[in-house]
Amino acid sequence: MELNSFDKRLRWAMEAQGMKQADLIRLASEMGVKLGKSQVSQYVSGKTAPRKEVLFTLASILSVEPSWLQDGAGDPFAPGVISMAAAAAVQAEGRGSKFGSSSRSKFGSAENEPIVPPVHCATITSTPASPVAPTVPFPEQERDPLAAPLPPITKSTKLDNVLYDVRGPVAEEAARMEAAGTQILKLNIGNPAPFGFRTPDEVIYDMRTQLTDCEGYSDSKGLFSARKAIMQYAQIKGIPHVTIEDVYTGNGVSELINISLSALLDNGDEVLVPSPDYPLWTACVNLAGGTAVHYICDEQAEWNPDLDDIRSKITPRTKAIVVINPNNPTGALYSREVLEGIVEIARQHGLIVFSDEIYDRLVMDGFEHISTASLAPDLFCVTFSGLSKSHMVAGYRIGWMILSGPKWRAKDYILGLNMLCNMRMCSNVPAQSIVQTALGGHQSVNGYIAPGGRVYEQRDFVYEALNAIPGVTAVKPKAGFYIFPKLDVKRFNITDDEQFALDLLHDQKVLISHGGAFNWKQPDHFRVVFLPRVEVLEETMDKLAQFLATYRQ
Ligand code: PLP
């Protein structure tokens, strides 16, 4: 697009920032500048051009130079101090008119004060840094308004291959709609508490009682009582030779996934990760400089990992394999046979096994969960679990990892793990104080996953409702609270699953996560969280059916 008119430059800058007209109106209002819907729409369509003060506001919001926006002069991304001429013009025109008192203070209220555009979050990823060398002022000096512009503040290139779309653009759009007063039916995040799943009373009582003893840092791996209880849990799960030194607590499993990969990977090291996956695994492999190589989980085989595909993807750089069992997003539970197959591959290639078992206490239909490490006493394994899901305390942030197998082989790696754990001091101590209570005695979660229990009944309802929609099929989850249905992409002409999620959100106010967010490469799946009560699930499934009855992309 040749940017030879104001409206084209405006549309281009909006696209570069991922902003819509509503965003301009909202952000301008936060700056104290009132813009009407039709006013903005006229700018965007080229029917009118804004007055100087509005132009200045738009340029600030879009992080572009006002002179570029106005007449295409210079570099759009030469941010920094607005020229004195522009500032003076704005002050002269804006004073007492469109700018309210709050915005005046943002732009400088005294005659000779430098005018600095408000700082706001920009998401430009492809913009080259300004070629002009910045002049860094001495801290005690006021910045000279005529000094060369400062370069934009950009995110690290380490994040270039990092994606976490479960909370990405579709969820952000839902948040924008909610902020504008629209009610959204949310089936997107596995967070039990907002859906009425309450923490067991005993757990809360015990945390309260111990709170005053939890004021200091603990040992960086965690409290003795917590690690002892986790060690005993490992014994029950058949994980051999675990001592208290092999147990590390974390601020959720999330923190430990990050630590375990950061301590291991050199640039270019490969880790086998399932597709679909819980995307934090792929994100953390890439953040640590490694490469996530995805192996297929096969929907035709109840979403079990395809062992041949795993074998075909091993290279001399493969260091580890990630197993997510029970699985998020598919709800699959792997059989002993499948796990033995994975373990055998790891054995042949000397791979570390990372087994994420956070849903191991949410297994339904009488099936048994088998810890991968229990089948691999001769392999170095790291087993992850926590209380977020089984005890409905996702907000308390408590998880753990357990090292097992030939630890002598991993001596150096363990030094790395210890160093990173020391650097974060310790995990949340009040949350550690409830581990012993939570893992012992009556397990209230068992009531939820038995016939008649909420998780069980919601799973059955959503499974049947999804399969009753023409063009949708889904494998029945055996554990957890996710289902990963398939869309008949030919029928709906779907080529972009994120667009499908956005269209459903806009049309029916239902929020789901598109399959791509779980590193699933075809645009033919989405994830539903079945934590809401059946009445709510009924409403959302009706809306989905209604939407799909006519939807064509
Ligand atoms: N692993 C899996 C498979 C998950 O689904 C989640 C959260 O949804 C986590 C780990 C992170 O859990 P935590 O709350 O312990 O950080």
* Nearest of 287, 371, 299 to residue 329 by alpha carbon: 299
What is the atom index within ligand 1 of the atom nearest the CA of 397? Answer: 14
Distance CA 470, CA 548 (A): 8
> What's the pLDDT score for residue 512?
95
The answer to whether 464 and 428 have CB atoms below 8 angstroms apart is no
For ligand 1, the distance from its centroid to the CA atom of residue 480, given in whole angstroms, is 11
CB 398 less than 6 A from any atom of ligand 1: no
Indicate the residue type of 422.
Answer: N
Indicate the residue type of 118.
Answer: P
> What's the pLDDT score for residue 160?
86
What is the atom index within ligand 1 of the atom nearest the CA of 255? Answer: 16
For ligand 1, the distance from its centroid to the CA atom of residue 64, given in whole angstroms, is 39
Distance CA 120, CA 38 (A): 25
Helix (H) or strand (E) holding 461, with range, is helix 454-467
Coil, strand, or helix at residue 526? strand
Distance CA 43, CA 53 (A): 14
pLDDT tens, N- to C-terminus, the chain (553 residues):
688 899 999 999 898 888 999 889 988 888 878 888 888 888 998 888 898 878 888 988 898 888 889 888 888 876 443 433 343 344 444 433 333 333 333 333 333 333 333 333 333 333 333 334 444 444 555 666 667 778 888 888 989 888 887 778 899 999 999 999 999 999 998 999 889 998 888 999 999 999 999 999 999 999 999 999 999 999 999 999 999 999 999 999 999 999 999 999 999 999 999 999 999 999 999 999 999 999 999 999 999 999 999 999 999 999 999 999 999 999 999 999 999 999 999 999 999 999 999 999 999 999 999 999 999 999 999 999 999 999 999 999 999 999 999 999 999 999 999 999 999 999 999 999 999 999 988 888 999 999 999 999 999 999 999 999 999 999 999 999 999 999 999 999 999 999 999 999 999 999 999 999 999 999 999 999 999 999 999 999 999 999 999 999 8
Quickly tell me which residue has 């996953």 as its tokens.
Answer: 449
> What's the pLDDT score for residue 133?
40
* Nearest of 306, 313, 370 to residue 336 by alpha carbon: 370
Indicate the residue type of 158.
Answer: K
For ligand 1, the distance from its centroid to the CA atom of residue 428, given in whole angstroms, is 16
Nearest CA owner, ligand 1 atom 5:
328
pTM for the model: 0.76
The answer to whether 503 and 523 have CB atoms below 8 angstroms apart is no
Task: Please give, one letter per residue, the 3-state secondary structure of 232-260.
Answer: HHHHHCCCCCCCHHHEEEECHHHHHHHHH
What is the atom index within ligand 1 of the atom nearest the CA of 398? Answer: 15
Mutate-to-test residue for ligand 1 from 188, 253, 257, 424, highest number of ligand atoms within 8 A of CB? 253
> What's the pLDDT score for residue 18?
87
Sheet holding 318-324, edge to edge: 247-250, 399-404, 381-386, 352-356, 318-324, 270-275, 291-298, 304-305
For ligand 1, the distance from its centroid to the CA atom of residue 100, given in whole angstroms, is 46
Q: Output DSSP code: residue 289.
A: T
Distance CA 353, CA 403 (A): 10
The separation between CA 95 and the C-alpha centre of its own chain, rounded to angstroms, equals 43
Q: Which two tokens stand for residue 43?
A: 């700018």
> What's the pLDDT score for residue 74?
80
- CA contacts within 13 A on the Cβ side of 525: 22
CB 302 less than 6 A from any atom of ligand 1: no
Distance CA 331, CA 323 (A): 13
Distance CA 379, CA 321 (A): 12
CB 429 less than 6 A from any atom of ligand 1: no
Q: What are phi and psi of 500, to 5 degrees?
A: -60, -45
Coil, strand, or helix at residue 368? coil
CB 358 less than 6 A from any atom of ligand 1: yes
Nearest CA owner, ligand 1 atom 7:
190
> What's the pLDDT score for residue 265?
97
Greatest alpha-carbon pair distance for the chain in Å reads 77
Indicate the residue type of 154.
Answer: T
Mutate-to-test residue for ligand 1 from 277, 356, 388, highest number of ligand atoms within 8 A of CB? 388
Mutate-to-test residue for ligand 1 from 195, 259, 278, 529, highest number of ligand atoms within 8 A of CB? 278
For ligand 1, the distance from its centroid to the CA atom of residue 300, given in whole angstroms, is 25
Distance CA 58, CA 438 (A): 53
For ligand 1, the distance from its centroid to the CA atom of residue 165, given in whole angstroms, is 15
CB 253 less than 6 A from any atom of ligand 1: yes
Residue 235: count of CB within 10 angstroms of its CB: 11
Distance CA 363, CA 446 (A): 9
> What's the pLDDT score for residue 100?
32
What is the atom index within ligand 1 of the atom nearest the CA of 254? Answer: 16
Mutate-to-test residue for ligand 1 from 199, 230, 328, highest number of ligand atoms within 8 A of CB? 328
Distance CA 268, CA 277 (A): 20
> What's the pLDDT score for residue 127?
37
Distance CA 21, CA 144 (A): 34
